[in-house]
C-alpha cells in the first residue's frame, strides 16, 4: 500500500539545518494499524505529513498504492489526498462557522458530489458516530470528543484507503480519548490503513504495529 525508501527531509531555519527525517524506509501493507511514537522533534509529524502528501521529501521515493507520488504536482497531490487519504488532527480543525453536518460534507463538496447524495451520506456518517442529534450544532457547541468524532466522520466521508491521525487524543481526556480511538479503529476494521502518531503509550499500544522514532529515524518497529 505504502512504500517509503530513503526519505530525507531537511529544514533550514535561521541558518541552521535540521534533518527532520534521515533516510526513512517504511512499508505498510493494506489493512495495517500502525502507531508512531517518539519524543518531540523526532520526526513523527514530518513523516505523517509526507505520508499525507502535505509535505515533500527532499530525497527518497514514495510509492502510494503502487504509484510513484514523489514528484507529483500540487493539484495531483490534492486530488490524491481527496481520493485516498483521510486526516484527523489534534486540534480537530473544524471550520467554526459550519455546522457538524456541513463540516462532514466539506470533502464531498470538494469532490463535486451531488447535494442530495451528500446529505444522505452525511446523515449516515453522523449516525454512525453518534452525532445524529448534533448535526446542526456548530463546533463551539460541541464537546472535544464530539468535535473529534465529527473530524473522524469528515476524514471518512470519501472512504479513504489510509487514515492519518496526528495526536488525535492529544487534546482530550483519557476516557474521551479511548472513545475517539474506538471510532478510528472501527474505520480501520472496515478496511482502511490507520496510522496514529501519539505521545500516549496507552494509545500507541492499541496499534498492531508500533514504530518508535528518534532523531528523524525509525529506531524500533514491533508487531503485537
Partner 1 sequence: MRAADTVRFAWGAAAGARARTAFTLLAMAIGVAAVVAVTAIGEGARRYVVAQFGALGTNLVIVLPGRSETAGAMPGVLLGRTPRDLTLEDALAVRASRALRRVAPLVVGAGDVHVGALRREAPVLGSTAELQDIRRMTLARGRFLPAGDPRAASAVCVVGATVAAELFGGRAALGEWLRVGDRRFRVIGVLAPQGTSLGFNTDEAVIVPVAAAQQLFNTEALFRILAEAKSRDLVPQAKADLEEILRERHEGKRDVTVITQDAVLATFDRILGALTLAVGAIAAVSLAVAGILVMNVMLVGVAQRRAEIGLLKALGASAAEIRAAFLVEAALMAAAGGAVGLAIGRLGVWLAAEFFPAIPFGVPAWALVAAPATALATALVFAAAPARRAARLDPVQALSRR
| Sites of contact with partner 1 (CB under 8 A) | 49, 52, 54-55, 74-75, 78-83, 87, 89, 91, 93, 95-98, 106-107, 109-112, 154
CB of 145 to partner 1, least distance (A): 19
**Min dist. Cβ of residue 220 to partner 1 (A):** 25
Exposure string of 11-30, with b = 16+ CB inside 10 Å and e = fewer, is: eeeeeeeeebbeebebebee
Give 71 or 224: the residue with its C-beta nearer to partner 1: 71
Q: Which is nearer to partner 1, 82 or 208 (CB)?
A: 82
SS3 string, 159-218, reads: CCCEEEEECCCCCCCHHHHHHHHHHHHHHHHCCCEEEEECCCHHHHHCCCEEEEEECCEE
| Minimum CB–partner distance for residue 208 and partner 1 (Å) | 25
Give the residue with the Cβ less far from partner 1, 151 or 210: 151
Least distance (Å) between residue 115 CB and partner 1: 8
Q: Are strands 59-64 and 67-68 parallel, antiparallel or unpaired?
A: antiparallel
Return the number of the residue (113 or 208) whose C-beta is nearest partner 1.
Answer: 113
- Report the nearest approach of partner 1 to the CB of residue 26 (Å): 19
Between CA 177 and CA 119, with CA 195 as vertex, the angle to 5 degrees is: 75
CA dist., res. 131 & res. 144, Å (int): 13
Q: Which is nearer to partner 1, 137 or 209 (CB)?
A: 137
- Give CA torsion, residues 174, 176, 182, 188, to 10 deg: -100
Amino acid at each position: 500500500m505504502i512504500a517509503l525508501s530513503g526519505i530525507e527531509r531537511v529544514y533550514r531555519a535561521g541558518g541552521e539545518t535540521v534533518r527532520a527525517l534521515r533516510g526513512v524506509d517504511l512499508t505498510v501493507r493494506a489493512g495495517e494499524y500502525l502507531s508512531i511514537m517518539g519524543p518531540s522533534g523526532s520526526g513523527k509529524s514530518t513523516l505523517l505529513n509526507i505520508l499525507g502528501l502535505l509535505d515533500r521529501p527532499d530525497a527518497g521515493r514514495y510509492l502510494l498504492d503502487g504509484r510513484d507520488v514523489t514528484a507529483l504536482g500540487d493539484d495531483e497531490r490534492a486530488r490524491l489526498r481527496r481520493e485516498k487519504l483521510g486526516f484527523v488532527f489534534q486540534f480537530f480543525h473544524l471550520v467554526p462557522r459550519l455546522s457538524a453536518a456541513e463540516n462532514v460534507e466539506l470533502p464531498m463538496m470538494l469532490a463535486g458530489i451531488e447535494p442530495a447524495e451528500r446529505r444522505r451520506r452525511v446523515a449516515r456518517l453522523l449516525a454512525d458516530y453518534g452525532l445524529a442529534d448534533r448535526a446542526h450544532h456548530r463546533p463551539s457547541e460541541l464537546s472535544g470528543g464530539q468535535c473529534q468524532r465529527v473530524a473522524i466522520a469528515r476524514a471518512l466521508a470519501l472512504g479513504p484507503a489510509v487514515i492519518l491521525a496526528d495526536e488525535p487524543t492529544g487534546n482530550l481526556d483519557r476516557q474521551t480519548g479511548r472513545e475517539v480511538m474506538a471510532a478510528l479503529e472501527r474505520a480501520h476494521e472496515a478496511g482502511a490503513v490507520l496510522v496514529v502518531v501519539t505521545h500516549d503509550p496507552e494509545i500507541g499500544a492499541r496499534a498492531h504495529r508500533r514504530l518508535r522514532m528518534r532523531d528523524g529515524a525509525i529506531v524500533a518497529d514491533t508487531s503485537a
